[in-house]
């Protein structure tokens, strides 16, 4: 979208908005699907793609993103909790929805009402789920996925509890295991270190647990473990289904060593999906020595032109980008953020940007015509991850879905 087209977008009220490119989103999904289904590999069925739309679709709008991705061919969707799943289902999404962190006692009825597939990560959850399934669907077993903790030590049954799980499942006449998963702690790490070895160890632990389940006569269903970094760099982990998160939205995660990122970007090219934009609402000239913003943390070293933007940390602009740590795109140039970012406004130095005016569109991160100010570079500059930046965009920022 050109700067002229951006300026013609009808944004009612305060000029802060997030543009979500449907073409970039569908490009990324199709690129991922093609990547994990190489033409030279002989599989009876193609690998499935479970699109992660938790956290309001990484800030892009969970239900809206899910609708776009379903039309583009996503096989499954992943949400955090029952309520997120209900929101996606109410958007008329028909494909299976996996509730990644399972259910809290009392949520079972809604889980089944909206045809959501829970992840079971504690053996004792089976009894409650079976009881709810008996009431809701006595003639048709309710499907669930099992999560195995292979070394992250967060959620999942321990590998040593497989036999206990099998005994508990045998008592549940209204449940059907339809998938088994694990989650990697350090899939982006390849350097010679404990973290660099952790994923290989997790893979070995996972396959050993799968073998034990199968020897106990349990059909493991869809096997899945690969998150974004594993999709890009660990083909041995692709299983029957992959779970792209941040790569769906256009960014590879950080790697160790860092040069691994360039290789991942070469193998799997992606397009940034979100562009966070605002407008200049005020311009002022300040003399050398004048302070700007709270605490006068910025002092002009020369006569300067300062632009005030209609967006602040209340909109999701990270406060840690304050005072020179961040920059924005305006009229095709990078302009530094100065002073302390406020809740509702941000100041930038536009002294070196010719033709600047009130109403000009400013891109906090994303694309601006031929120019790209990538969110992952912004995130690295303040020592955080891209997902943190994207998810920070608040509810008061309207999402505009463009071609």
Q: Which residues are paired to 68 by β-bridges?
A: none
CA distances from 148 to 8, 186, 378 (A): 51, 16, 34
Beta-strand pair 346-349/333-338: antiparallel
* Closest to 108 (Cα-Cα) out of 87, 88, 136, 84: 136
Catalytic-residue membership of 6:
no
Is 58 marked active-site? no
Q: Which residue has the tokens 């570079």?
A: 377
User: What's the sign of the alpha-carbon dihedral 318, 287, 357, 330?
Assistant: negative
The residue from 6, 48, 54, 67 that is catalytic is 54
The closest alpha carbon to 317, from 285, 278, 349, 350, belongs to 278
Classify burial at 402, counting beta carbons within 10 Å of its beta carbon; exposed 0-12, middle 13-18, buried 19 or more.
middle
Taking the CA atoms of the chain, what radius of gyration do you get in angstroms?
24
DSSP conformation letters of 354-396:
TT--TT-EEEEEEEETTEEE-HHHHHHHTT--HHHHHHT--TT
The maximal CA–CA distance of the chain, rounded, in angstroms, is 78
DSSP track, 215-254: HTT----EEEEE-HHHHHH-GGG-TTEE--SGGGGT-PPP
| Structural tokens at position 102 | 């399972």
Give the whole-angstrom CA distance, residue 284 versus residue 297.
17
3-state DSSP assignment of residue 188: coil
Tally of residues, the chain: 403
Given 71, 127, 140, 294, which residue is catalytic?
294
Number of other residues whose CB lies within 10 A of the CB of residue 312: 19
Which position has the token pair 């959620």? 155
Just list the catalytic residues.
54, 294
């Amino acid at each position: 979208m050109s700067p002229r087209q951006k300026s013609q977008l009808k944004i009612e009220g305060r000029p802060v908005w997030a543009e979500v490119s449907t073409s970039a989103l569908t490009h990324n999904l199709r690129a991922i699907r093609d990547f994990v289904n190489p033409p030279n590999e002989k599989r009876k069925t193609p690998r499935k793609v479970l699109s992660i739309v938790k956290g309001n679709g990484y800030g892009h709008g969970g239900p809206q993103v899910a609708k776009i991705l379903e039309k583009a061919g996503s096989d499954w969707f992943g949400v955090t909790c029952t309520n997120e799943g209900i929101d996606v289902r109410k958007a008329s999404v028909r494909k299976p929805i996996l509730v990644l962190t399972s259910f809290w006692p009392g949520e079972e009825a809604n889980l089944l009402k909206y045809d959501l597939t829970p992840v079971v990560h504690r053996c004792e959850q089976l009894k409650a789920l079976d009881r709810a399934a008996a009431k809701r669907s006595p003639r048709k077993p309710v499907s669930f996925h099992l999560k195995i903790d292979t070394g992250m030590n967060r959620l999942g049954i321990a590998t040593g509890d497989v036999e206990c799980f099998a005994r508990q499942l045998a008592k549940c006449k209204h449940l059907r295991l339809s998938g088994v998963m694990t989650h990697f702690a350090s899939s982006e790490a390849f350097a010679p270190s404990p973290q660099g070895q952790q994923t290989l160890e997790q893979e070995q632990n996972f396959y050993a647990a799968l073998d034990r389940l199968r020897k106990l006569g349990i059909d493991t269903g869809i096997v899945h473990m690969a998150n974004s970094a594993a999709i890009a760099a660990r083909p041995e982990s692709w299983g029957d289904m992959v779970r792209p998160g941040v790569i769906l939205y256009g960014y590879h995660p950080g790697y160790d060593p860092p040069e691994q990122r360039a290789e991942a970007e070469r193998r799997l090219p992606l397009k940034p999906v979100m562009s966070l934009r605002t407008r200049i609402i005020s311009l002022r000239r300040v003399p050398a020595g004048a302070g700007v913003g709270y605490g006068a943390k910025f002092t002009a070293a020369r006569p300067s032109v300062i632009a005030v933007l209609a967006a602040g940390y209340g909109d999701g602009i990270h406060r840690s980008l304050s005072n020179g740590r961040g920059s924005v795109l305006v009229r095709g140039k990078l302009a530094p953020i100065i002073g302390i970012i406020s809740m509702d406004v941000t100041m930038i130095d536009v002294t070196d940007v010719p033709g600047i005016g009130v109403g000009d569109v400013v891109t906090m991160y994303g694309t601006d015509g031929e120019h790209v100010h990538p969110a992952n570079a912004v995130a690295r500059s303040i020592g955080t991850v891209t997902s943190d930046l994207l998810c920070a965009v608040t509810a008061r920022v309207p999402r505009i879905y463009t071609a």
